[in-house]
Structure 1
Amino acid sequence: MKITLKERKLKSGKVSLSIEYYKGSETTPEGKRRHIRENENLKMFLYGNPKNAGERKKNKETLVLAKKILAIREAEFYQGRFNIKNTTKAKRRFLDFFIEKTEEKSDSPKNYGNWTATLVHLKRHISPNTNFEEVDENFVKRVRQYFDKEAQTKSNLPLSLNSKYSYFNKFKASIRAAFNEGYLSINYAAKVKSFEQAESQREYLTFQELQKLAKTSCKYEILKSAFLFSCLTGLRWSDINTMTWSEVRDEDKSSRINFRQKKTDGVEYLYISKQARNFLGKRKDPIDRVFTGLKYSAVYNNEIVRWCNRAGISKHITFHSARHTNAVLLLENGADIYTVSKRLGHREIRTTAIYAKIVDQKMKEASNLIPEIKI
């Protein structure tokens, strides 16, 4: 491949600079020779006919910068072609890089939690002095082998398939990032297969269990209100926790939430029932959070479990189970799968279809409720 700096005169009189990547030629089905070129617009311009010393100086500075970029592109090409690593970046320690990538996820509690959990495992397996010079396909395979055969939970049990899938994918994401940022000349993440993802069990409450929970006291009233609100609306913890009164619209005889989903960044308009609106309480200033004092912590998570135990519910219920509960109750009470998918903000209908399978199972169980007829 030939890499060159190209100039193109514009109607305005200025000259546009770009880098051309000439990749050879090929013969078309018609028997003609076609040259293969790609261009990178540098968005840099020269004065076509500089009129003074200032414009001539600007042209000179622009050309110097353009040629430096050209040199970088040539170096990047040869690094990839001959498997040459950036000698400076190759000295950086891998775990330091992974910690940096982990901290970039701190704005998303759930994702950040998965990255930090992955980091704990990587620290057990990878030497702190391992640098990018030692990262290759075999290195990635050894990490996969660790997650598959050696890694254990805090209870000294083997990792579940979904944990293997999640942790190894976070590791592979860091390898891809290292490749994109020039620490590696080859994307080794693409060379090693990920784990298959098992279909996760979605724990939910039946309507009778939800009724019992609503009548049972919870140590934190704000947590109880937020959880029951999620059961009635399907909103995620992240969206409930950050909801402000500016997002709550009371319109005539109905109410809706206009918000941007934290997980998908999509804008949603969600109508809510009168009972769900009552859980929000009295309207306050637009910038105030609706559920003041709600926070993500082990204390609140443990209280959900204790609250369920007091209600006689032995299932392992988390706050996210409220969202599952909403989906199942909607389907059981006649909502079509498309409507449920839109209300939950799913991008793909197949995500919602998992809840439909749960309802089908309940229908199957119901077929055996009638006692046998004695004949």
Structure 2
Amino acid sequence: MRNELEDYLHALVVERGLAHNTILSYQQELNEFLTFLESIEIKDFTQVDRYTILNYLKHCDEAHKSRNTIIHTVTSLRQFFAFLLSQGKITVDPMLKIDTPKSAHHLPSVLSSQEIETLLGVPDTHKKLGIRDRALLEVMYATGLRVSEAATLKLDDLRLEMGLISTVGKGNKQRIIPIGDVAIKWLGTYLTGARQELLKGRESPYVFLNNHGHPLTRQGIWKNLKKMVQQAGIKKDVTPHTLRHSFATTLLENGADLRTVQELLGHADISTTQIYTHVTKKHLTEVYNKYHPRA
């Protein structure tokens, strides 16, 4: 069964060209499923039926996995068994009568403009890592980059003289994003000074580097951000994606249309972008309730 999983993951890379992080997500979910099958002594996918799948989903629920994680698991299993069927490894697809659970609609956490300013003021810009962190925060908030996109941003992606950067997002789709003057200023300060110090005479195509001159990882960005959020005294659960949420919400609150925000975020489906309209409506309600005398 492990060999068949490897064949499937290889097909995802070769035939569908999925991003590395997407492949890893499928791999983790399907490995957990295989571990479950082994625990109940199923040794071949032809032995898997609808009840096996239902028992596994119950197992996931009892392990306190979130609703959205279980939904993604169902999607992963559906695609995997469709692949096995197409390859003649099974004759009956056990996912045919499995319904996908309805998603839990959680509004993304966003930072207010005051919280953003407080967070941006945390890095010590008298130090090289502080300049790097300030530049990174400014770029992520100004462009809505995913953390993986920020980590893999290269010098060749920068068109600062034109006020633009390019990035390759999910599904290997390239998009061009405007970047504001403040972010350009801090990025320029970082590139001409602190970054050179971090390189110590070496070369790297990547923009954001760690203290050893190597590319800053997604995990490194996350860890540094957590530390800065604590220093800022912000009590919300902030992740790098929160800056992306805040970018989108700021645009909509200031009059941007949904299609433009969709393009800037690189969403394939506008329904993904529409979640931010709920966030802005929630914000409007909070402002109304706080300031209107008849609220």
Check conservation: 2:169, 2:266, Cα contact below 8 A. Answer: no
1:289 to 179, 203, 206: 206
Equivalent residue letter for 1:306? K
Q: Which consecutive segments of 4 or more residues in structure 1 shift more than 6 A?
A: none
**What is aligned with 2:200?**
none
Matches within 5 A, 1:36-115: 93=1, 95-98=2-5, 101=8, 108-109=20-21, 111-113=23-25, 115=27
- Deviation digits for residues 242-295 of structure 1, max 9, x if unmatched? 2222222244xx411234x330332322221111222333379x9822223311
Check conservation: 1:125, 1:146, Cα contact below 8 A. Answer: no
State the number of aligned residues: 269
Distance in structure 2 (CA, Å) of the matches to 1:366 and 1:328: 15
Q: Give how far 1:197 is off.
A: 1.6
Q: Give how far 1:183 is off.
A: 0.8
Distance in structure 1 (CA, Å) of the matches to 2:108 and 2:292: 30
Distance 1:101 1:313, change over 3 A: farther
Distance in structure 1 (CA, Å) of the matches to 2:284 and 2:23: 35
Q: Give how far 1:121 is off.
A: 5.6
Check conservation: 2:164, 2:177, Cα contact below 8 A. Answer: yes
Matched, 1:196 2:102: yes
Equivalent residue letter for 1:225? A
2:32 to 120, 136, 147: 120
Greater strand percent: which structure?
1
Matched, 1:354 2:271: no
Distance 1:129 1:249, change over 3 A: same
**What is aligned with 1:142?**
55
**What is aligned with 2:163?**
255
Q: Give how far 1:228 is off.
A: 2.9
Equivalent residue letter for 1:138? Y
**What is aligned with 2:69?**
163
**What is aligned with 2:264?**
343
Check conservation: 1:102, 1:116, Cα contact below 8 A. Answer: no
Check conservation: 1:228, 1:322, Cα contact below 8 A. Answer: no
What stretches of structure 2 of length at least 5 have no aligned partner? 197-202, 210-214
1:131 to 44, 48, 58: 44
Q: Give how far 1:136 is off.
A: 2.7
Greater helix percent: which structure?
2
- Deviation digits for residues 48-80 of structure 1, max 9, x if unmatched? xxxxxxxxxxxxxxxxxxxxxxxxxxxxxxxxx
Check conservation: 1:233, 1:276, Cα contact below 8 A. Answer: no
Distance in structure 2 (CA, Å) of the matches to 1:279 and 1:113: 34
Check conservation: 2:33, 2:56, Cα contact below 8 A. Answer: no
Check conservation: 1:115, 1:170, Cα contact below 8 A. Answer: no
**What is aligned with 1:229?**
139
Distance in structure 2 (CA, Å) of the matches to 1:258 and 1:184: 43
Distance in structure 1 (CA, Å) of the matches to 2:19 and 2:285: 42
Distance in structure 2 (CA, Å) of the matches to 1:133 and 1:269: 47
1:323 to 244, 250, 269: 244
1:307 to 228, 235, 239: 228
**What is aligned with 1:63?**
none
Relative contact order: is structure 1 or structure 2 higher (C-alpha 8 Å, sep ≥ 6)?
Answer: 2
Matches within 5 A, 1:1-40: none
SS of residue in 1 equivalent to 2:177: strand
TM-score normalised by the chain length of structure 2 = 0.79
Distance 1:229 1:186, change over 3 A: same
Distance in structure 2 (CA, Å) of the matches to 1:100 and 1:203: 38
SS of residue in 1 equivalent to 2:291: coil
Decide which structure has the larger Cα Rg and report it.
1
Q: Give how far 1:163 is off.
A: 1.6
Q: Give how far 1:196 is off.
A: 1.7
Q: Percent identity?
A: 23
**What is aligned with 1:211?**
117
Distance in structure 2 (CA, Å) of the matches to 1:318 and 1:249: 27
TM-score normalised by the chain length of structure 1 = 0.63
Distance 1:124 1:137, change over 3 A: closer
Distance in structure 1 (CA, Å) of the matches to 2:116 and 2:155: 26
What stretches of structure 1 of length at least 5 have no aligned partner? 1-92, 153-157
Distance in structure 2 (CA, Å) of the matches to 1:304 and 1:258: 23
Distance 1:145 1:226, change over 3 A: same
Distance in structure 2 (CA, Å) of the matches to 1:315 and 1:228: 19
Q: Give how far 1:191 is off.
A: 2.6
Check conservation: 1:257, 1:272, Cα contact below 8 A. Answer: yes
